[in-house]
Structure 1
Amino acid sequence: MVRTPLTPQERERGERLGALLRQARGDRSMVEVAAQAGLSSETLRKIETGRAPTPAFFTVVALAAAVGLRLDEVAAHCVIAEPEVQALLSA
């Protein structure tokens, strides 16, 4: 199966997610957060660096819980959308 190349918007969304997770992780080690989320530290490293810009939904859920983020916060930070959509996410 051939995977469709990611769009620039998808890559940017992945970079935003990675930056948000890095910031929320704070002083905690990558190994600690990955273990709490039930992931390998390599998977977390790839997400944080943008090398895995489209992680599975439940991976994002587990990471958000591990670093204390709500999913609406993650969506508002990562979604690149028209101002109307952003307003809905912020409400």
Structure 2
Amino acid sequence: MVRTPLTPEERERGERLGRLLREARGSRSMVEIAAGAGISAETLRKIETGRAPTPAFFTVAALARTLGLSMDELAGQCAPVAVVTPAAAVA
């Protein structure tokens, strides 16, 4: 099965998620957080660096729980950035 290439917006959203998780991890080790979430440290490393920009929902949920983050807050901060089009350009 061929996977559809990610859009630049999807890659940016994945990088944003990675930054948020990395910031929330703080000084805690990658191994500690990964173990708490039930994933490998390599998977966490890929998510944090944006190399895995579309992790599974349950992976993100487990990381959020382990890091004490709200899924609502994470979703809000990783939401696509709205592009505002001037009304004159639309008409």
Alignment TM-score, normalising by the size of structure 1: 0.88
Are 2:4 and 1:4 equivalent residues in the alignment? yes
Are 2:59 and 1:55 equivalent residues in the alignment? no
Q: Could you say which structure has the larger radius of gyration?
A: 2
1:67 is matched with which residue? 67
CA deviations 1:44-70 (Å, max 9, x no partner) are 000000000000000000000111100
Structure 1 vs Structure 2: percent identity of aligned residues?
73
- Matched length: 83
2:89 is matched with which residue? none
Matches within 5 A, 1:1-91: 1-82=1-82
SS of 1:36's equivalent in the other structure is: helix
1:87 is matched with which residue? none
Which letter does structure 2 place at the counterpart of 1:46? Answer: K
Give how far 1:81 is off.
3.9
Stretch of structure 1 that moved more, 73-82 or 56-65:
73-82
The alignment's C-alpha RMSD in Å is 1.1
Query: Whose helix proportion is higher, 1 or 2?
Result: 1
Alignment TM-score, normalising by the size of structure 2: 0.88
Q: Which ranges in structure 2 are unaligned for 5 or more consecutive residues?
A: 84-91
Give how far 1:11 is off.
0.1
Q: Which ranges in structure 1 are unaligned for 5 or more consecutive residues?
A: 84-91
Stretch of structure 1 that moved more, 72-81 or 39-48:
72-81
Give how far 1:80 is off.
1.2
Moved >2 Å (runs of 4+): none
